[in-house]
Chains A and B, each alone.
Chain A
C-alpha cells in the first residue's frame, strides 16, 4: 500500500462521480446562450448573448433578486448572532442539557424542509402573522444557525481555552478579552459561516414556499419561470449568474480556511 498513489479504479470512480456532478450544470450554462426560445432543442441551433440583455431589463428578476438578497442578509446576521452565542455557550462550559442544545440546533437542518415550512406556516396562521420579509427570514435564520454554529464550534475547539484565560490573566476583563482575543480568532470562522449561511438562504425554496405568501424570492421566481416560462433562456441566464455569484463566497470560504483542519461548508 503505497500511500501516495491512488489505484486506477479509484481515480476513475472519483472522476466519474465528479463528472456526474458537473455535466448537468454545464448544460444550463450552454442553454443560457441558445437562440431557440420556446423549446429546448439539443444541440442548441445557435448561440447568442442577447438573453443577458433581456434579463437585465426584466424588472421581475431585479425585484426577486432584491428580496432574496435582503432575506439572505438579514438571516445571515441573525444566524451569526445566534450561532455564535450558542457555540460559545456549548464549547466554553459544560452544563446540563448541552447535548440537547446541539440537537436543537441541528434539528432544523436534519428535519426535512417541508416540516420546517409547514410548521412555521401553521404557526403563522395560528398567531395571525401576515406574510412579510420577516416571515421568510424567520424560517431561513432558523436553519442557517447550524451553519454558523458548526463553523464557530469547530473554531472554538481549535482555539485553546487557555487563550481566554491568558488574556484575563494579563489583566483584560471579559469584554476586553472578547474584543482583543476572541473576535480576532473567530473572525475567519464567522466570515466563512456567514458566507455559507448566505448562500444557503439565497438558494432555499422548500421552506420559502411556505413562508413567503405571495412574495417572490429568486428561487421562487425561478420555480415559477421553470413551470410557466415566458422566456426560458432568461431563467438559464439567471441560473448561471446565480451559480457563478454563489461560487464567490464558496471560493472565499475555501481560501479563508485553507490549511486548517476544518472543511468549510461542512454540515450544510
Chain B
C-alpha cells in the first residue's frame, strides 16, 4: 500500500469499458484525458475490454496499471491478488464519494479498500420506437416470443449479452415471474433456480440471431441488421440516438441488473503515482459529470450532477437512475458458498453452460 504520492512516471495504462476513457476522438466535446495528461504529464493509454472475464484475463496477464472493474470481476481480482489495497488518505476527494459506494462489498474486503468507485448504472432495455408503439414494460420482449406492435414477431430481432453474467438477467426475470422458485438474489442460484434460468435462456436462443459482445457491434446491428430490442447500456442508446436511429430505453417492471464499477490498481503497477493522480482526477474533475452524460451512467460523486463542473444535470442523473440504486442488482461474481442459501452454482459453471446455451445445448 502506498503511503505517499511521488513524481508521476509519465504514463498510465488503463483497461476500461468501451466509452469509459475518452479523449475526444469520437466526439470532441467528451474529453477527460487530455486535461489530465497536460496537468500530470502521465500519458494515458487505454485497452478496451468487452466483458468482465476479459478484464480479469487482461489483469492476470499483467502490464496494466488500472482497470475499471465491475462487481463480477473485482472480487475475483482481489482474491487472485491481482490488485493492491488503496490508501484512501492519498485521494483527497474520497469524501465526496456517494456514501452508498464508499464501503461497497465489491471493492471492500475486511475493511480494506481495493479501489475507487468510478461509475454505476443499470442494464437498460433498449428498443426501437418504430417496432414498439409504446415503451415495453417487461423484459418478456427479449425472453419470450411475442408479436410486436409493427405486426411482426420479435424472433430474430432481439439480442442478448454475450457474457455468462446474462444468466443473472434471466434469474432476475424469473424472480419476478416465478416467485415459487424462491430466487432472492439473481447471482445466488441453487441448482433448480439455475436450471430454470438456463431453460429460459434456451428459449431465448430461438429468438436471438446473434448475441452482442461489443457495444459498437450492437450499434451496427441496430442500424443494419433490423434489431429492435435488447438488454443494453445507456451508452449505446445515446450513440444511436445521436445518429437519429429511433431507439429509446427503459427499466422494465422486473427491475434490472446493473454495474457499479471501481477503478483498481494492479498489484505490480509500474506507475502507481500516476494511478493515484488518476484516482483523484476521476473524482474531482469534469470526468464524473461528462462521463455520466456520455455513457448514460450515474456518477459516483453525487455532487457532479449539480455542481456544474461538467455537462451533467440533476435531471440527467435522475434519468440515468440515480434514485434507483436499491432496485438495481449490481453485477457480482457468483460463488458456491453464497449468503442467501446453502450452496449456489459457481461462476465457472455459468461460463461453460452459457457457451452451451449459445451453442444450442
Instruction: Check if A38 is an interface residue, CB within 8 A of chain B.
Output: yes
A228 to B46, CA, bound (A): 14
Instruction: Check if A229 is an interface residue, CB within 8 A of chain B.
Output: yes
Please determine whether A214 and B48 come into contact, CB atoms closer than 8 angstroms: no
Instruction: Check if B327 is an interface residue, CB within 8 A of chain A.
Output: no
Instruction: Check if B110 is an interface residue, CB within 8 A of chain A.
Output: no
A229 to B243, CA, bound (A): 14
A30 to B45, CA, bound (A): 34
Q: Mark B1-39, 1 if CB is under 8 A from A, else 0.
A: 000000000000100001000000110000000000000
Among B45, B47, B63, B214, which residue has its beta carbon within 8 angstroms of that of A227?
B214
Q: Which residue of B lies closest to A224 (CB)?
A: B48
**Ranked 3 nearest A-B pairs via Cβ:** A228-B216, A39-B223, A38-B243
A29 to B339, CA, bound (A): 58
Among B47, B48, B63, which residue has its beta carbon within 8 angstroms of that of A228?
B48
A214 to B223, CA, bound (A): 30
A130 to B26, CA, bound (A): 31
Main secondary structure of the interface of B (DSSP, over half): mixed
Among B61, B214, B224, which residue has its beta carbon within 8 angstroms of that of A40?
B224
Q: Mark A33-64, 1 if CB is under 8 A from B, else 0.
A: 00000111000000000000000000000000
Please determine whether B13 and A214 come into contact, CB atoms closer than 8 angstroms: yes
A214 partner residues in chain B, CB cutoff 8 A: 13, 45, 47, 63
Number of interface residues of B (CB under 8 A): 15
Within 8 A of A (CB), among B180-237: 214, 216-217, 223-224
Among A39, A125, A230, which residue has its beta carbon within 8 angstroms of that of B26?
A230
Main secondary structure of the interface of A (DSSP, over half): loop
B13 partner residues in chain A, CB cutoff 8 A: 214
Q: Mark A119-134, 1 if CB is under 8 A from B, else 0.
A: 0000001000011000
Q: Mark B338-354, 1 if CB is under 8 A from A, else 0.
A: 00000000000000000
Q: Which residue of A lies closest to B214 (CB)?
A: A227
Among A39, A125, A230, which residue has its beta carbon within 8 angstroms of that of B61?
A125
Q: Mark A211-235, 1 if CB is under 8 A from B, else 0.
A: 0011000000000000111100000
Contacts A38-B243, A214-B47, A214-B63; A230 near B217 (Cβ below 8 A): no
Further contacts, 11 of them, CB under 8 A, given A125-B61, A214-B47, A228-B18: A39-B223, A39-B243, A131-B63, A213-B63, A214-B45, A214-B63, A227-B216, A227-B217, A228-B48, A228-B216, A230-B25
Please determine whether B224 and A39 come into contact, CB atoms closer than 8 angstroms: yes
Q: Which residue of A lies closest to B19 (CB)?
A: A228
A229 partner residues in chain B, CB cutoff 8 A: 216
B26 partner residues in chain A, CB cutoff 8 A: 230
B214 partner residues in chain A, CB cutoff 8 A: 227-228
A38 partner residues in chain B, CB cutoff 8 A: 243
B45 partner residues in chain A, CB cutoff 8 A: 214
Q: Which residue of B lies closest to A130 (CB)?
A: B63
A227 partner residues in chain B, CB cutoff 8 A: 214, 216-217
A228 to B26, CA, bound (A): 10
A227 to B216, CA, bound (A): 6
Q: Which residue of A lies closest to B244 (CB)?
A: A38
Q: Tell me, rounded to whole Å, the shortest Cβ–Cβ distance linking B63 to chain A.
A: 7
Q: Tell me, rounded to whole Å, the shortest Cβ–Cβ distance linking A245 to chain B.
A: 26
Q: Mark B58-84, 1 if CB is under 8 A from A, else 0.
A: 000101000000000000000000000
Residue pairs across A and B with Cβ atoms less than 8 A apart, 22 shown, are A38-B243, A39-B223, A39-B224, A39-B243, A40-B224, A125-B61, A130-B63, A131-B63, A213-B63, A214-B13, A214-B45, A214-B47, A227-B214, A227-B216, A227-B217, A228-B18, A228-B48, A228-B214, A228-B216, A229-B216, A230-B25, A230-B26
Within 8 A of A (CB), among B275-330: none
A131 to B47, CA, bound (A): 15
